Structure 1
Amino acid sequence: MLPLLVLGFASGLPLALTGGTLQAWATLDGVSLQSIGFLTLIGSAYTLKFLWAPLVDRYSFPFLGRRRSWILLTQLALAACIAAMGLYSPGTSMLPLAALAVLVAFLSATQDIAFDAYSTDVLRSEERAAGAAIKVLGYRLAMIVSGGLALVLADQWLGWHNTYFLMGAFMAVCALATLMAPEPEVVAAAPRSLAVAVVEPLGEFFRRRGALTLLLLIVLYKLGDAFAGALSTTFLLRGAGFTGTEVGAVNKVFGLAATIFGALAGGTLMARMGLYRSLMMFGLLQAVSNFGYWLLAVTPPHLYSMAAVVVLENLCGGLGTAAFVALLMALCKQEFSATQFALLSALSAVGRTYLAGPLTPPLVEWLGWPGFFVVTVFIALPGLWLLHLRRHEIRALDSDRT
C-alpha cells in the first residue's frame, strides 16, 4: 500500500501545475484573460488518454515489468518537464511554457494509464477497497501540494520559478516508489498485436452479460453528485451569500479534508461490506447529502451550517469515489487493464462534462436553487436502480480476480 500511496501522489501532482496553479501564475504575471482561457485546453489529454492506452497495453520496456517501466519513464520525463517550466515566465514566454504544459499533461495522462493498470493488476480482490482508498488519498494530497501549498510557496517563499523546480524534484523522488513497488503475483501476457490491443478490450467487455447496462451505470452512478457540484461554489457565493474568503477556507480546507477522510473510511467499510453493498450505501449517501445544499438555499447564511454541509457532501463524495474506483478496477481484465480502465474512466467523465456542466445553469434558472438541489437527489436514483439491476454481476466481482 505504501508504493500505491506515493504513486497516487505522483499521479495527482501534475494536474494543478498545468491547470489552476499555472492559471494563477499567468494571472499574476499580467497575461490576458483570453490567453488564460486557452490554458484550460491543456487538460484535454486526461479526457483523450484512452486513444493511446492500447500502446501501453501492447508494448513495454525490458526492465521493471510491463507496467512499472512505463510509470518510471513517464515520472522521470515529468520531473524534467515540470522543472523546465520553471525556466520560463508566462508574461514573456507564454508559448514555450504552454507547450511544456501540454507535454506535461500528455506524460501525466500516460502515467495515469500505466498506474491505473498497475494498481488493477497488483491488487488482489480483497485488497481493492483499501487500494482504491489509498490511491484517492495520495491523489488528493498531491492536489493540496501542487495547488494550495504551491501558491503559498510561490507567493511567500520561493517565487514561481523555484516552486516549479521543487515540484519537479518531488516527482523525481516519487520514482523511488516505482522501483520499490512489487510486481503483480500473476502477470498477464500482453496482447499479440496492436490491433488486438485496440479491438479486443472492447470486444471482451461487450461479450459480458449486461455490458451495456454496466457502461450506463458508470455514466450515471455519480451523476447526481456531479450536478450538485457543478455550480456549488457559485451557489455559495451568489445564491447563499457567503464571502469569497469564507467559501475558500471551508471548501479548500474542510472540504478537501472531508473527501480524504471519506475515501479512507470508504476503503475500510468496503473491506467489511463488499463492493455491491458499499456502492449502494455510498450512492444513497451521495444523493441524500445534496439536501444539505437545499437547506442552505432556504435558510439565512451561517458559516457553521455552510461548513457542515460542505463537510457532509465531500465526505459522502469521498466514500462514493473510493467505491467507484474499486468498481472500475474490478471490471478490468488484467490483459487489457490499461485500455479498459482508461476507457471506463473517460466514460465516467461523460456525465460530468457533457450533462452536468451544460444543463446545470438552465435548470437553476428554471427551478431556482432550492428546487434544483432537490432535483439532483432524483438524478442520482437511475444509477442506483441500475446498480440494483446488475447486483449479481457486481457481487461476483468481489471474488473474480480477472
Structure 2
Amino acid sequence: MTETMPIAPAPSRLLRLYLLLGFSAGLPFYMFNAVLLLRLARHDVDIVVIGFFAWIALLPTFKFAWAPLLDNYSVPGFSRFWGRRQGWVMISQLGIFLALLAMAGTADDQSLPLTALFALLLAFWTATLEVAADGWRIELAPSQVEQAPVVAANLWGYRSAMIAAGSGAALVAARADWTTAYLVIAGAAFVPFPLLAAMRPERSPESHDAMGRTSALVQGVLVSLAAFALIGLAAALVGAALLSAVRGAGLSAETNVTPIVLGIALLPFVALAAALPRIKRLPLDAWANLPRVLAPHVELFWRFGHGVLPLLAFVSFYRMGDVLTLTLSHPLWNAAGYSLDQISMADGLVAVGCSLAGVGLGGLCAARLSMTLALVIGAIASAIGNWVFVWLWFAEPSALVLYVAAGVDQFGHGVAGAVFVVYLSMLVSPRFPGAQFAFLSGFAFLLPRLVGGASGAIQKAIGYDGFFLMAGALSLAAILFLPIVMHLRPRTR
C-alpha cells in the first residue's frame, strides 16, 4: 500500500519541482540511447550491432516489474527524512551519476559487453527515477486539468535536459573525446541531488524529527553504493550467462533474433491477457490478498476487462514513430555527412526551443480540448516529425536543412508526448499510481523499442527514406484505435 497521501505543494512550487525532476530524468536518457548509438557509429561499429544496442532502451519498458516495490517500500535514510517518493528519486540520481562515470571509463568501446553493462545500469536507474517521479506527480495532481501544467513543466525539464545532454555530449566529444563528454554529463546529472537534499521534507508518517539531515544523507549514500554494486554484479552475471547461451546457440549479428526477443518480452503481457476471464471474476476486495507485485497490474485488467487489449494496442502504436526516429536519426545525420558541430547545434538550441514549444502546445491541448482531439493532433504532429527526415535524406546537405528537420521533429514529438502523458495519467487508479503508470508507459514503448532493435536490419532492407516513411505511417495508424479506446468505460469498485 502507499503511504498517506502527501500534501500538495503550492502550484508554483510544484511546477518548479517537476521542472527539476524532468531535468533529472531527461539528462541521462540520450546517454544510453541516441548519444551511445552515435558514439558507436563514430567507432565504426556495424549498423546491425548498433541496432541491437537500441534494445537497451527496452529495460525501462519493464519498470512495471519493480515499480510496486517503490509504492510499498522505502529507502533507508533518504525516505525516512524526505519521504518515500523523494527517497527513491535521490537513490536513483546517485545510481545515474555512478553509471555515467562507468560509461565514461569505457568510452573507447573496445569491450562492447562492458559498454552494454554500464548502459543497462544507466537505463535501470533512469527508469527507477521515472517511476518514483510519476507516482508522486499523479498523487499530487490527480485531475486532467491539474495534470496538464505539471506534465508540461516536467516535459520541459525532461526534453531540455535530454536534448542538451545529446548536444553537449556531441560538442564536447568534437572538442575533446567521448570520455570527457560522459564525465561532463555525469557532473551535470549530479547537480539536482544537492538541490533535492536541501529541500524541506514534507510531513509524513515516516518522517522522524530526531534523525538529522546529515545522518540521513550518509545512510542513504551508503545504501545507494551498496545497491549499485549488487545490481551491477547481478546484471553482469545475467549478461554473461545470456552471452554464453547466445554463442552456444550459434547466433550472431547476421541472425534475425527479433522474433525471439519479441516473444520473450511479450510473455508477461500475454500471461495477463490469458488470465483475463479469471481476473474479471475477481471480487471487489481481492486486491488485499494478491502479492504486492501483481495487485496493481491485475487491478488495471479488472477495471478495463477485455477493453484493455485495444487499449494496450493503442498505447503501443502512439509513440512508435517517435522511438524509431530517435533510434536512427543520429546515424542518418552521420551517414548524410553532417559534422559533430552541426549535430550538436541541431540537438541543442534548435531542438530545445522547438521541443519546448511543442510540449507547451501539447499541454494546452490536453487542458483545453477533448482528449480525443488532443490525441489526434499529437499523432499528426508526430507523423510529420518522422517524415521530415525523408526530405533531409534527399536534400542537399546544409546546416539549414538539418536545423529545420530537427526542429520539426522535436516540435511534433513534444506535442505528442505531452498529450500522451496526460492521457496515461488519467487511466491509472489512485490506489496504485506509480505501478500502473509504469505498466502503461512501459508497454507503450515495448513494441516500438523491439522494432527499434531491428532498425539497422530494416534500414539495410528499405533504406533511410523507406524507414522514416514507415515510422510516420505507424504514428498515424494510432488514430485508427481511437473510436474504440475513447469509448471504453472502466468498472469502478
Please tell me the TM-score bracket, short chain as reference: 0.7 to 0.9
Counterpart residue number, 1:48: 62
CA RMSD for the aligned pairs? 4.4
Cα pair distance change 1:48/1:305, threshold 3 Å: same
Contact 1:85 1:164 in 2 (8 A): no
Contact 1:57 1:197 in 2 (8 A): no
Counterpart residue number, 2:87: 69
Contact 1:363 1:372 in 2 (8 A): yes
Contact 2:38 2:331 in 1 (8 A): no
Distance in 1 (CA, whole Å) between partners of 2:457 and 2:325 is: 11
Counterpart residue number, 1:130: 149
Out of 367, 374, 385, the residue aligned to residue 480 of structure 2 is: 385
Superposition pairs of residues 2-401 of structure 1, within 5 angstroms = 2-16=16-30, 45-60=59-74, 61-76=79-94, 78=96, 81=98, 85=102, 103-125=121-143, 126-149=145-168, 163=184, 166-167=187-188, 169-176=190-197, 179=199, 192=288, 195-209=290-304, 210-236=307-333, 238=335, 241-245=336-340, 248-249=343-344, 251-253=346-348, 254-296=350-392, 300-301=396-397, 303-358=399-454, 361-362=457-458, 365-366=461-462, 373-393=468-488
Distance in 2 (CA, whole Å) between partners of 1:199 and 1:362 is: 36
Contact 2:171 2:341 in 1 (8 A): no
Cα pair distance change 1:47/1:181, threshold 3 Å: farther
Deviation track 1:158-198 (CA, whole Å, cap 9, x = no partner) reads 95797477336414224247x358689xxxxxx757x4322
Contact 2:27 2:189 in 1 (8 A): no
Distance in 1 (CA, whole Å) between partners of 2:53 and 2:464 is: 30
Distance in 2 (CA, whole Å) between partners of 1:160 and 1:147 is: 10
Range with greater deviation from structure 2 (260-269 or 43-52)? 43-52
Contact 1:53 1:338 in 2 (8 A): yes
Counterpart residue number, 2:4: none
> Paired residues, what number?
383
TM-superposed deviation, 1:133: 1.7
Q: Which runs of 5+ in 2 are unaligned?
A: 1-14, 205-286
Q: Amino acid of the residue matched to residue 451 of structure 2? A: L
Range with greater deviation from structure 2 (153-162 or 1-10)? 153-162
Counterpart residue number, 2:215: none
Contact 1:255 1:311 in 2 (8 A): yes
Q: Amino acid of the residue matched to residue 328 of structure 1? A: L
Cα pair distance change 1:372/1:123, threshold 3 Å: same
TM-superposed deviation, 1:266: 1.5
TM-superposed deviation, 1:129: 1.6
Deviation track 1:23-71 (CA, whole Å, cap 9, x = no partner) reads 899999x9x99xx979878666434322211211222344444422322
Cα pair distance change 1:324/1:180, threshold 3 Å: farther
Cα pair distance change 1:363/1:105, threshold 3 Å: closer
TM-score by length of 2: 0.63
Contact 1:286 1:317 in 2 (8 A): yes
Counterpart residue number, 2:277: none
Counterpart residue number, 2:251: none
Cα pair distance change 1:44/1:171, threshold 3 Å: farther
Contact 1:23 1:39 in 2 (8 A): yes
Q: Which runs of 5+ in 1 are unaligned?
A: 185-190
TM-superposed deviation, 1:312: 1.7
**What SS class does the counterpart of residue 303 from structure 2 fall into?**
coil
Distance in 1 (CA, whole Å) between partners of 2:185 and 2:395 is: 44
Cα pair distance change 1:277/1:192, threshold 3 Å: same
Range with greater deviation from structure 2 (258-267 or 376-385)? 376-385
Q: Amino acid of the residue matched to residue 367 of structure 2? A: A
TM-superposed deviation, 1:141: 2.6
Cα pair distance change 1:88/1:50, threshold 3 Å: same
Cα pair distance change 1:159/1:361, threshold 3 Å: closer
Cα pair distance change 1:293/1:23, threshold 3 Å: closer
Contact 1:206 1:212 in 2 (8 A): no
Range with greater deviation from structure 2 (303-312 or 270-279)? 303-312
TM-superposed deviation, 1:10: 1.4
TM-superposed deviation, 1:114: 0.9
Q: Amino acid of the residue matched to residue 273 of structure 1? A: L
Cα pair distance change 1:256/1:327, threshold 3 Å: same
